[in-house]
């Protein structure tokens, strides 16, 4: 009788109005992310229904579109309307591009798609930057006004603050996807989808919606029309990716962040130069474990539903030079920038009209960041000097022609992450790193060597350069990045190192384990992946259970958002 009563109370609690409301409404303090128990409950329900309807392609795609919208609503609330706007506008524009007979009309429509998407992105991402810069230049006192919040307050009876603009989660990622759709149709690499529900599914597919990988229309849309297929091998592979991602994110990334990295970066002057340096190395591991952990889980979740997402990371800290690093790190963004920005600008063939438009845009950004006209005058003088050198010095003209689009692409890649001096410097340093390496490999007597020692030296130099640039990527402000550099350069107390190593021994051991795993040979990684896939089902379930238990035992009291959610 008591057991019956307990069951009755449980059902009463579960189906209470407040709990049902909590399940189906957005809670700003609890966005749905992969490391929540709620997400895995949601995914279990999605899979259960999906297993019933997966043979009916149209219904399957419509269903996944709707559950993806629910996922995004639970992640970002009414920002779902921005996602729907991008979906509807680019669906219509895609058909206009495809049905237009004249090349001029096609170009106008694809330019319209790019303009609309970038305008929406810039409004939410750079409104504060433009407002502050305008006030600085013209000595005004304008404040940011959130027209989107005002509209929803008027027509949806909400109570959003209108003097604050929040960045919709994932807007940078799905904006690039919709742009690629319009451009791919223009290039005749893909035909527009007939159903807006199919297109909505492509734009909003929930595993990769909020932090990538960025999916190309030409790669993903053909999968919409293929029958569902999940082999025994792919099931094992999907489970492997999910467990691997959880371990990376929670056990490695979150642990070293909460227990060491965040403390240092929050107040670098309270810690020694050695602690600041180790925090930098720790952050290089954390940002990799966090971001690649997310995409590993996204790839595994998508694979369980029969869809293949592109690989986004390939052991980037094994790179032997900066160019190779960017072929291994955030591959979907790097290749997107190459195919939709670098090559259209002219690649290494030289500048184009687009090059000069992009250059003016970057200069305007930097001038507004500085808030000083002297910076604009400096750019004008540097531009005149470069023009003179390009006219009279043939070797300099060849260098400028070959590298200007590369530098522009890396600077725009930096600004994609945010409008601040840190991201300008970070993007600029990586661009310079690429240019310097291109010059170095022409004169280096060591470039031809590919033995173990040479590889170790090349990887060491590249890894340390990338880690150095991360000072500006992670720093809270220009002041804090300066403090980190100061502490490393002038407060490196060697006598305290043994005590520091002892105090943070668990953190440093976890960092060491993380880097050792990362630098394992590819054949070793292939071996343990294939070994897991070939395990009997019952053993897979046992390994998964133990892993999940370990992950949630290691989880901090407050869930750590994925780093790339802020972009």
**Six token digits for residue 97:** 């591009």
List the catalytic residue out of 54, 330, 417, 518. Answer: 417
**Three-state SS across 3-14?**
HHHHHHHHHHHH
- Alpha helices, H only, 393-477: 394-417, 421-443, 452-474
- Give CA–CA dist 498/517, Å, rounded: 25
Centre a 10 Å sphere on the Cβ of residue 508 and count the other Cβ atoms it contains.
Answer: 18
Of 318, 303, 312, 301, nearest to 336 by C-alpha is: 312
Cβ-proximal residues to 433 (8 Å cutoff; 6+ apart), any chain: 322, 465, 469
Two structure tokens written together for 506: 């668990």
CB 342 within 8 A of CB 406: yes
| Sequential DSSP letters for 109-160 | HHHHHHHHHHHHHHHHHHHHHHHHHHHHHHT-------HHHHHHHHHH----
How many whole angstroms separate alpha carbon 378 and alpha carbon 373? 9
Give how far the C-alpha of residue 537 lies from the chain's centroid of Cα atoms, to the nearest Å.
Answer: 33
Give the CA-trace dihedral at 114, 115, 118, 120, to 10 degrees: -130
How many CB atoms are located within 10 Å of the residue 147 CB? 11
Separation CA 473–CA 279 (nearest Å): 13
- Please state, as a whole number, how many other Cβ atoms lie within 10 Å of the Cβ of residue 485: 16
Q: How many residues does the chain have?
A: 567
CB 513 within 8 A of CB 299: no
Q: Is 518 marked active-site?
A: no
The DSSP string of 38-86 is HHHHHHHHHHHHHHHHTTSHHHHHHHHHHHHHHHHHHHHGGGHHHHHHH
Instruction: With beta carbons less than 8 A apart as the criterion, state whether 511 and 282 touch.
Output: yes
- Rounded-to-integer distance, Cα 426 and Cα 474, Å: 10
HSE (CB half, 13 Å, CA atoms) of 43? 21
The residues annotated as belonging to the active site are: 417
């Amino acid at each position: 009788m008591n057991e019956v009563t307990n069951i009755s109370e449980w059902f009463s609690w579960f189906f209470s109005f407040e709990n049902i409301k909590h399940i189906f409404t957005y809670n700003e303090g609890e966005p749905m992310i992969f490391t929540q128990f709620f997400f895995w409950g949601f995914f279990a329900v999605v899979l259960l229904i999906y297993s019933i309807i997966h043979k009916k392609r149209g219904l399957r795609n419509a269903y996944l579109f709707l559950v993806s919208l629910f996922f995004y609503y639970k992640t970002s609330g009414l920002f779902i309307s921005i996602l729907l706007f991008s979906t509807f506008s680019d669906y219509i524009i895609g058909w206009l591009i495809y049905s237009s007979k004249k090349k001029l009309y096609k170009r106008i429509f694809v330019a319209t798609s790019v303009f609309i998407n970038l305008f929406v992105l810039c409004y939410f991402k750079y409104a504060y930057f433009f407002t502050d810069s305008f006030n600085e230049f013209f000595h005004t006192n304008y404040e940011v006004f959130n027209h989107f919040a005002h509209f929803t307050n008027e027509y949806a009876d909400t109570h959003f603050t209108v003097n604050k603009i929040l960045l919709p989660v994932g807007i940078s990622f799905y904006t690039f996807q919709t742009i690629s759709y319009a451009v791919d149709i223009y290039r005749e690499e893909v035909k527009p989808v007939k159903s807006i529900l199919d297109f909505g599914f492509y734009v909003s597919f929930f595993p990769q919606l909020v932090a990538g990988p960025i999916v190309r229309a030409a790669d993903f849309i053909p999968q919409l029309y293929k029958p569902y297929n999940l082999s025994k091998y792919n099931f094992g592979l999907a489970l492997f990716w999910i467990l691997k991602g959880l371990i990376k994110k929670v056990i490695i990334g979150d642990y070293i962040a909460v227990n060491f990295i965040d403390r240092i970066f929050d107040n670098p002057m309270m810690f020694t130069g050695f602690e600041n340096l180790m925090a930098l190395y720790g952050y290089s591991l954390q940002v990799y474990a966090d971001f690649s952990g997310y995409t590993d889980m996204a790839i595994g979740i998508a694979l369980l539903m029969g869809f293949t997402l592109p690989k986004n990371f390939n052991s980037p800290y094994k790179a032997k030079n900066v160019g190779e690093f960017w072929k291994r790190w955030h591959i979907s963004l790097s290749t997107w920038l190459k195919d939709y920005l670098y090559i259209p600008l002219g690649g290494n063939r030289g500048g184009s009209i687009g090059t000069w438009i992009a250059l003016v845009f970057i200069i305007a950004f930097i001038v507004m960041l500085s808030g000083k006209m002297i910076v604009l005058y400096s750019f004008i003088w540097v531009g005149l000097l470069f023009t003179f050198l390009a006219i009279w010095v043939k070797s300099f003209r060849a260098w400028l022609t070959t590298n200007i689009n590369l530098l522009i692409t890396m600077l725009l890649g930096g600004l994609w992450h945010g409008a601040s001096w840190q991201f300008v410097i970070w993007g600029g340093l990586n661009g310079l790193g690429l240019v310097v390496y291109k010059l170095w490999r022409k004169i280096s007597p060591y470039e031809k060597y590919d033995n173990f020692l040479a590889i170790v030296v090349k990887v060491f130099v590249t890894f340390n350069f990338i880690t150095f640039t991360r000072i500006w990527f992670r720093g809270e402000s220009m002041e804090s990045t300066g403090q980190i550099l100061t502490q490393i350069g002038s407060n490196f107390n060697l006598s305290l190192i043994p005590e520091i190593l002892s105090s943070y021994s668990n953190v440093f051991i976890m960092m060491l384990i993380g880097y050792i795993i990362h630098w394992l040979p590819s054949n070793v990684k292939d071996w343990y992946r294939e070994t897991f896939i070939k395990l009997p089902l019952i053993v897979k379930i046992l390994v998964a259970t133990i892993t999940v238990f370990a992950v949630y035992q290691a989880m901090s009291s407050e869930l750590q958002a994925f780093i790339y959610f802020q972009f």
